[in-house]
Amino acid sequence: MAMSYEQVCREYLAYEQNARALSMATIQAQKNDLRLFEEGCKEIGRTPFDLDEAGLQAVIDRLMVRYENASVARLCSTIRSFYLFLNLRFDFKDITLSLRSPSVSRHLPSWIGEKQMDEILESFDNDERGILDRTILMTLYCTGLRVSELCTLEDRRVALDQHSIRVIGKGDKERIIPISIACARQMKEYRDTVRSPLPPCSGRFFVTVQGKPLNRQYVYRLCKKVAMEHSLSPSTSAHTLRHSYATRLVEHEVDLRTVQELLGHSDISTTQIYTHIDSHRLRQTVDSALPDLFGNTGRTTDSQIDQTGEKPESADHTD
């Protein structure tokens, strides 16, 4: 190939960003994956352009020894997209068709219950800092926003009188999220008492008490502080609140497609993990829907079976 690997990677990443509208964070992750892939190829004396299927698998197998399965699985996903691009753009042979990537176990996400969340929100003072922090956590818990979406939420997209916000998510996709009356009330208190008196320096809805745009580091430190003060898991993060939001939706029987839309998932398979969190409600639903099988009404008890092991005839028995 006439172009260098670095040049091809630049063209590929530009395609991913422009044609597929991927976020900058995803583009950066793919850039890191491609750099790691090139280093892996060099270790076996090859380049990404002269590998065959066996050579590609050898590179992946070597990387699996040093890196977590999740990291290598993501790398494999990037490589598949990269070689598909090479095939379409340069008629290059796609050598990923038989690629075996490591399996990644999917752990159920942790979440915070409503009662515990109420206790957390009530623990904040009613000064400017307390109102800001309470509003941040309540908004995350009641909308399922990603941290990046929260920090970049524009004030003009917050319609508190209509109890909704318009969010620009991954791939610049817009979605409308309804908010509860309590959350709208809290966001209004923050806007009136903290944000509005500050000199306008940004179109962002969330700003610090100094009037600076909110950033991820602030939210990260806030979540860790809350986790420590309320004896939550050390892994508690803003994403835990997003999981909590999804969990509450499923518990209240919101269908999976709606949950997908509200969370901004591009693939329903990402949302399906939440189908495992409410087995108790599912069991209750089945028992209620099929009383003849699971209720006392139609169940044959041991006492109804005679010593021959046969059920006694019923006068109103029908086929």
Give me the count of residues in the chain: 319
DSSP class of residue 318 equals -
The CA angle 79-84-88, to the nearest 5 degrees, is: 150
Q: Are strands 158-159 and 174-178 parallel, antiparallel or unpaired?
A: unpaired
- Arithmetic mean of pLDDT, 193-218: 89
- Residue 106's pLDDT is 63
Among the listed residues 86, 110, 105, 111, the one whose alpha carbon sits nearest the alpha carbon of residue 96:
86
How far from the centroid of its chain's Cα atoms is residue 61's Cα? 28
How do residues 105-140 score in pLDDT, each as one tens digit?
A: 666 668 899 999 999 999 999 999 999 999 999 999
How do residues 42-83 score in pLDDT, each as one tens digit?
A: 999 999 999 999 999 999 999 999 998 888 999 999 999 999
3-state secondary structure of 173: coil
Q: How many CB atoms lie within 10 A of CB 73?
A: 16
Residue 298 C-beta-side C-alpha neighbours within 13 Å? 8
Q: Domains in the chain, please, with CATH?
A: 5-90 (1.10.150), 114-276 (1.10.443.10)
CA gap 319, 307 in Å, rounded: 24
CA gap 268, 240 in Å, rounded: 19
Which tokens hold the place of 285?
Answer: 């639903």
The residues annotated with a catalytic role in the active site are 146, 170, 239, 242, 265, 274
Integer angstrom CA distances of residue 156 from 32, 57, 103, 204, 222 = 35, 50, 43, 8, 25
Q: Are 205 and 154 in contact (CB under 8 A)?
A: yes
187 contacts: CB under 8 Å, gap ≥ 6: 135, 138, 139, 158, 160, 179, 205
How do residues 33-51 score in pLDDT, each as one tens digit?
A: 999 999 999 999 999 999 9
Q: Which amino acid is at 154?
A: E
This prediction has a pTM of 0.63
CA gap 301, 319 in Å, rounded: 20
User: How does the average pLDDT of the chain come out, rounded?
Assistant: 85
